[in-house]
A and B are shown apart, each in its own frame.
Chain A
Amino acid sequence: QVQLQESGPGLVKPSETLSLTCSVSGGSISKYYWSWIRQPPGKGLEWIGYIYYSGTTNYNPSLESRVTISVDTSKNQFSLRLSSVTAADTAVYYCARYVAGPTAPATHFGYWGHGVLVTVSS
């Protein structure tokens, strides 16, 4: 069974860079699409972006100028970097794996990590 685990600092200072890693176990990172999704406390879900194992990325325009998602196939991990953070970036950050549907290779988020709360505060 595929398992995802987020890791990284739980506290980041304003204007600094948030860095998280998602470690994948129980399966290969290859041949799949992977995503980061966040959820501010008490609010809804926001898609941050995705990466294909080959390195192709697509980001939410609202974050694109500050976000980088990368993949390390040798470590079976992918990562998120979000620069110039503010209190508005305080959220639970989830990593997730897309799963194929009958007609496309990535139609829904079938596997999720437990999530990690990142607080932006001085």
Chain B
Amino acid sequence: QSALTQPASLSGSPGQSITISCTGTSSDVGAYNFVSWYQQYPGKAPKVMIYDVSIRPSGISNRFSGSKSGNTASLTISGLQAEDEADYYCTSYTTSSPRWVFGGGTKLTVL
């Protein structure tokens, strides 16, 4: 069982917007603004899409955005494209051990 809870799967049509939630506790997501999101294609290493809740690294499309409310962080992908079909993982720093926890991952399907 993962420390952070994500929906196992989501789907959307091209052009739509979807939001992936990442629910933790007051010891992780709720305690720090050190939530990051990773995109992973099959057989590839994860790639950071959002860090520190809402910051996009250089080169990441502005279709990706992040936010947080209380113990739940969210990744929103607007204008869905076929290339967005991948697994998405959230992670957060925690007040205790383990110091970093991941969500179980969300498989995004673009219909």
Contacts and interface: CB of A to CB of B under 8 A. Distances in A.
Contacts, number: 69
B30 interface: no
B51 A108 contact: yes
B45 A44 contact: no
Interface string A54-92: 000011111000000000000000000000000000000
A102 interface: yes
A47 B36 CA distance: 14
Interface residues of A, number: 25
Contacts of A94: 45-46
A6 B102 CA distance: 21
Contact of B36 (A102, A103, A107, A112): A107
A115 B52 contact: no
Contacts of B57: 110
B34 A113 contact: no
Interface string B31-71: 00110101000001111100110010100000000000000
Given A44-B89, A112-B47, 19 more contacts: A44-B2, A44-B102, A44-B105, A45-B91, A45-B102, A45-B105, A47-B102, A61-B97, A61-B98, A101-B34, A107-B52, A108-B34, A108-B48, A108-B51, A109-B46, A109-B91, A110-B57, A112-B45, A115-B45
Top-10 shortest CB links A-B: A108-B51, A108-B36, A112-B45, A60-B98, A101-B52, A47-B100, A44-B105, A45-B102, A61-B97, A107-B34
Interface of A: 35, 44-47, 50, 58-62, 94, 99, 101-104, 107-110, 112-115
